[in-house]
Structure 1
Amino acid sequence: MNSVILEYQLEATAIGWLTSAVQFGFIAGTLLFALFTISDRFSPSKVFFISALCASLFNFCFILQSNNLPYILIFRFLTGFFLAGIYPVGMKIATDYFDKGLGKSLGFLVGALVLGTALPHLIKDFFASTSWKFVIVSTSILSVIGGLLILLFVKDGPYRKRNNIFDLKTITTVFKKSEFKKAAFGYFGHMWELYTFWAFVPIMLFSYNKIHSNLTIDISLLSFLIIGIGSISCIFAGYISQKLGVRKTAFNFLLGSFVCCLIVPFSFLFDSQVLFVLFLIIWSFLVIGDSPMFSTLVAQNVASKDKGTALTIVNCIGYSITILSILIITQLNITLQSNYIYMLLGLGPFLGLIVLGRKTA
């Protein structure tokens, strides 16, 4: 982001706006996609392709030489908006192909998302001298390729049931089912912790390095390894869910990450860098494994014709919660400069565990 600031001669405060624009775009996109039941009324593969194409276009527009801050923010917002037609719709496509074993298939899907989230840290480590525009162009091209692959090779699944009725009430009626609400609120608690943890992994490594200044830490590479381990976690969770059950698997992962939230301040006291990094790897493994499980529970507890809308609105609310969590922890980090602030991340898992633990009346 610093390179972008210099390129377009923007104020330093623009960094926050550039990041938030994508997030708010995604929230707006998921809300509208859910309201108009897009992925349930139209072919998910075609929705995915069009969204990937549009996201690629607006992402590419980010590098136009004539840009100024208002235009950049619009392009970032629109990029985020059309991402709403990629991730939630991708899960919808998976639910259309798998009746049984959905947890395993979503484990692979979310695992791929996690790897993509970690990848920029690896690129930063190995291509530090490469222009930021190269990264933008590369991701835009990959987006088009991904969209084309889905359009050409992934047709509508055998379990897809098209919803021909446009009903704005769908996003509220799905929450009337008790088991759906449990899955959704468990997911919301999970999201309070997840993205804030990912955002603060480099900061936690930096803070540890400040305390133990005699050590040399490759923050970018370690951030990739720590976050990237989550892809293995998602796949692992998918497989064990076939033995333990989806709900029990989600509960166990959420419980594990909650425990990590409670002990994280004390991990900074480890003299061994290996132990500290190992702790973050374990936390990273536990913090994401429940994500595909919650999405599976959401999909399993809603009518087939409403699955796309249900997954999208839950994503919308969950992602909104992540913004709030990141803002709060960021402000506390600036104000208090204490590693105890990370314990607050446990609030989401704690509430999620309470909801999941309730017995249906």
Structure 2
Amino acid sequence: MSTVGGGRLGVAADSERWRVLSLLCLAVVLSLTTWFSATAILPELKQELALGASAEAWLTNGVQVGFVIGALAASLVNLPDLVRLSRLMAAASLVAALANATLLLHPGPGGIIAARIVTGAALAGVYPPALKLVATWFTRDRGLALGAVIGALTVGSALPHLFRAVSTVLDWRPVVAAASLATAAGALLFLLFAKEGPYPFGKAVFEPSRIGQVFREKPLLLANLGYLGHMWELYAMWAWLLAYTRAAFDAQAIGTAAAASLSTFFVVASGILGCLLGGYLSDRVGRTATTAGMMVISGSCALLMGFLFTGPLWLFMLVAIVWGVSVIGDSAQFSAAVTELTDRRFVGTALSVQMGAGFALTVLAIWLTPRFADFIGGWRWAFLLLVPGPLLGAVAMLWLRNLPESVKMAGGLR
């Protein structure tokens, strides 16, 4: 009798963790729509506000800078340990929604950039806590669960392009309004349904004195170099894919602005498949093999895009979608690797350093990409700038695979 009861209890607990994961992912999708809301309408904002190249880049980079500031500030005061995660994510989502909505008030270039910085800082209270919360529900299949959350981030990041594609007969304001409303809805979902699971973490304290350890220990250094290579490519690709696709469609004399926005949505959103695949593979063939394989594929796609700039369209889109799948598919595994390689007492510091360095690097990559395009005379070969990141990252992860410490990862699968 007790066995049956225990079996039923186990089934109920298993069902509950997947239910929480599903609702959490939906909330993340809705809340993260504000990340690239300005990027999706960048051509219109550039024309209406007469933005220069620097201001144009900062409409996206403002979010990146704000995220770094928010994430490091939260780590310094251990905010996720002081505030219940559901309330923290709900409040942060609401702030992001309000900051994004200020774009509707026409605050000017400086005001828009300030609003983007606040949006990024607020989203630092959504994405990292969501990863922490879902990990409290999963010991088995954790790689898949974390991959699902990052897949939700990916779809949320893509949604503004869909909003723009279906509203091109209107101006840019409905995109901003839709993103803000979606993020507010995400706040409500976090408040109602986000709760911690049966496997809570201890306090993850940020200790600045331990920062050097992250760079002195070879396994940690290599895992972080892999992550930096991944981040060099990821956000610059997401930030400038719409501009690149518009230029390619113009070169092929096909499509409209709506077609470019819709194509960008499908390419970025396809990353959810990569996140799920990466999570599945990492739990079965190991983190180093999964991350290195994904980065070799994504780097190859970045190289191929220039050759397909003038068509054929079907092959251009096929390679772009493969790139969208592979460029994000390994993302969760770098954080998982750091948690497995570092002393449990300093996991908080190691993760904060990794995330801070990674997002800081995205600022440089996003800023450089359009300047590189101008320097070489157009967008066609602009993504060549991103190729070294994933290739060097793959080398770092394969190097890590050959170290004896790598057996600590993925249950011995390296």
Q: Deviations over 1:167-186 (max 9, x none)?
A: 43355545554433322221
**1:225 counterpart residue number:** 266
Aligned length: 356
- Cα 1:100–1:286 shift into 2, 3 Å: same
- Residue 155 of structure 1 is matched in structure 2 by 195
Query: Counterparts in 2 of 1:114-125, with a 5 A limit?
Result: 114-125=154-165
**CA deviation after TM superposition for structure 1 residue 160, in Å:** 2.2
Match of 1:360 among 390, 397, 403: 403
**CA distance in structure 2 between the partners assigned to 1:41 and 1:172 by the alignment:** 26
Q: Deviations over 1:231-258 (max 9, x none)?
A: 1111122222232122211111112122
Q: Is 1:275 matched up with 2:315?
A: yes
For the 8 Å contact 2:143–2:282, the answer to whether it is kept is: yes
Q: How does 1:201-350 map to 2 (within 5 A)?
A: 201-213=241-253, 215-216=254-255, 218-268=259-309, 270=311, 272-304=312-344, 306-337=346-377, 339-350=380-391
Aligned partners of 1:345, 1:132: CA distance in 2, in Å? 29
The 2-side partners of 1:174 and 1:353 are apart by 19
Q: 2:238 aligns with which of 189, 192, 198?
A: 198
RMSD across aligned positions (CA):
2.8
Q: Which residue of 1 aligns with 2:99?
A: 58
Deviation digits for residues 125-168 of structure 1, max 9, x if unmatched? 11123454433333333323323322332223333233286643
Q: Any stretches of 5+ residues in structure 1 without a counterpart?
A: none
SS in 2 for 1:144: helix
**Of 298-307 and 51-60, the range deviating more from structure 2:** 298-307
CA distance in 1, matches of 2:285, 2:121: 37
> Is 1:24 aligned to 2:65, yes or no?
yes
Partner of residue 81 from structure 1, selected from 116, 121, 137: 121
Deviation >6 Å, runs of 4+: none
Asked if structure 2 preserves the Cα contact closer than 8 Å seen for 1:115 and 1:231, the reply is yes
Quick one: distance in 1 between partners of 2:67 and 2:221? Answer: 22
- Alpha-carbon shift at residue 348 of structure 1 (Å): 0.7
1:33 is aligned to 74
Counterpart of 1:62 in 2: which secondary structure? helix
Give the drift of 1:307: 4.4
Asked whether the equivalents of residues 61 and 367 of structure 2 are also in contact (C-alpha less than 8 Å), the reply is no
Distance 1:4 1:349, change over 3 A: closer
Paired with 1:319 and 1:109, the residues of 2 have a C-alpha distance of 18
Equivalent residues of 1:56, 1:144 under 8 A apart: yes
Instruction: Name stretches of at least 5 consecutive residues in structure 2 with no aligned partner.
Output: 1-41, 405-414
Q: Distance in 2 between matches of 1:197 and 1:164?
A: 32
CA contact (8 A) 1:30 1:84 kept: yes
Compute the displacement of 1:289 (Å).
0.9
- Give the Cα separation in 2 of the matches to 1:110 and 1:46: 20
One-letter amino acid matched to 1:119? L
* SS of residue in 2 equivalent to 1:268: coil
What is the distance in 2 between the residues matched to 1:230 and 1:198? 11
- Range with bigger deviation, 75-84 or 35-44: 35-44
Residues 353 and 165 (structure 1 numbering): CA distance in 2 closer, same or farther, change over 3 Å? Answer: closer
Pair 261,62 (structure 1): closer, same or farther in 2 beyond 3 Å: closer
Is 2:51 the counterpart of 1:12?
A: yes
Percent of aligned pairs with the same amino acid:
32
Structure 1: distance between partners of 2:398 and 2:162: 38
Alpha-carbon contact 2:144-2:278 (below 8 Å) kept: yes
Larger displacement relative to structure 2 (216-225 or 231-240): 216-225
Give, in angstroms, the shift of residue 95 of structure 1.
2.4
Q: Distance in 2 between the 1:141 and 1:309 partners? A: 34
Is the Cα contact below 8 Å between 1:52 and 1:144 reproduced in 2? yes
In 2, are the aligned partners of 1:22 and 1:81 still within 8 Å (CA)? yes
Please, what TM-score do these two structures have when normalized by structure 1?
Answer: 0.87
